[in-house]
C-alpha cells in the first residue's frame, strides 16, 4: 500500500479517540458503573452516572482555564472515599461503559509511521487509563512511542484545543532540531486536532 503520510515527515502525533480507538458509549452507563462498584466491594450510589457527570461539571466550573480537564481518578475517589485501587477502578468503568476497538485508518497510518521510523507521539483528551487501552490494543506499536512525546490532557488539567498541549508536545522535537513542517498531527477533529497543529506550522492529516 502506498504511504498515506506526506513526504518529509519525521514525527507523527496521533489523537486517540476517533483516530486510533473508537466505540459507542453505552446507554446504560449508570447500571454498568454500579456493577463495577459492586465488583470492588463498594456500595452502589443511585444514579451514579449523573453523580459523576455533576462532579465533572463542578470541577470545570471551578477551573479558570478556558478548556479545563479533570483527572477521573480523583473524582471517583471523592465519590467513593473507601476506594482502594482507583486506577484499576477507573479503567474497569471505562471498559464497561465505553468499549473501544481499533480505527482501521488510524492503525494503517500508525503502521506506516513505524515503518518509516518517525518519532511517535500522542496528543489526546484522555485519562490515565488511556495508556492501558493503547497498550492493550497496540501491544507492539505502543512500545515504539516516544515517552517524551506523550501528552495526555488529564496530566495538564487542560484539554484540546488548548494550544499549550501542542506546544508542550513539540518542545522536545524542537530541541532535537526538528522543524515544525516535519511534524504531522493525525486526528479526526478539525477544531481540536488539526487547527491548533496548523497554527504551529505543523502538517495535518484528518481521519475520516
Does 67 score more than 90 pLDDT? yes
CA-wise closest residue to 123 among 183, 60, 54, 71: 183
Q: Which pLDDT value is given to residue 2?
A: 76
- As a whole-number percent, the residues of the chain with pLDDT over 90 amount to 94
The residue that leads in pLDDT, 4 or 8, is 8
Compute the distance between CA of residue 122 and CA of residue 83 in angstroms, rounded to an integer. 30
The CA–CA distances, whole Å, from 45 to 37, 50, 84, 124, 207 equal 9, 10, 17, 30, 39
Q: Which pLDDT value is given to residue 75?
A: 98
Q: What is the pTM of this model?
A: 0.95
Cα-flanking dihedrals φ and ψ of residue 204, to 5°? Answer: -135, 155
Q: Which pLDDT value is given to residue 27?
A: 86
Amino acid at each position: 500500500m502506498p504511504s498515506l503520510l506526506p513526504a518529509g515527515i519525521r514525527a507523527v502525533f496521533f489523537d486517540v479517540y476517533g483516530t486510533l480507538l473508537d466505540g459507542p458509549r453505552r446507554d446504560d452507563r449508570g447500571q454498568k458503573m454500579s456493577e463495577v462498584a459492586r465488583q470492588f466491594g463498594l456500595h452502589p450510589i443511585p444514579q451514579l452516572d449523573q453523580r459523576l457527570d455533576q462532579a465533572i461539571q463542578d470541577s470545570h466550573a471551578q477551573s479558570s482555564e478556558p478548556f479545563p480537564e479533570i483527572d477521573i481518578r480523583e473524582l471517583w475517589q471523592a465519590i467513593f472515599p473507601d476506594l482502594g485501587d482507583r486506577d484499576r477502578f477507573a479503567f474497569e468503568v471505562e471498559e464497561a461503559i465505553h468499549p473501544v476497538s481499533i480505527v482501521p485508518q488510524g492503525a494503517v497510518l500508525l503502521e506506516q509511521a513505524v515503518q518509516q521510523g518517525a518519532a511517535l507521539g500522542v496528543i489526546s483528551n484522555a485519562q490515565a487509563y488511556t495508556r492501558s487501552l493503547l497498550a492493550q490494543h497496540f501491544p507492539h506499536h505502543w512500545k515504539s512511542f516516544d515517552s517524551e512525546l506523550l501528552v495526555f490532557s488529564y496530566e495538564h488539567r487542560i484539554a484540546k484545543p488548548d494550544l499549550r498541549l501542542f506546544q508542550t508536545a513539540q518542545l522536545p522535537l524542537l530541541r532535537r532540531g526538528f522543524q515544525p513542517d516535519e511534524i504531522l498531527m493525525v486526528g479526526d477533529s478539525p477544531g481540536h486536532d488539526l487547527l491548533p497543529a496548523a497554527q504551529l506550522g505543523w502538517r495535518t492529516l484528518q481521519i475520516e
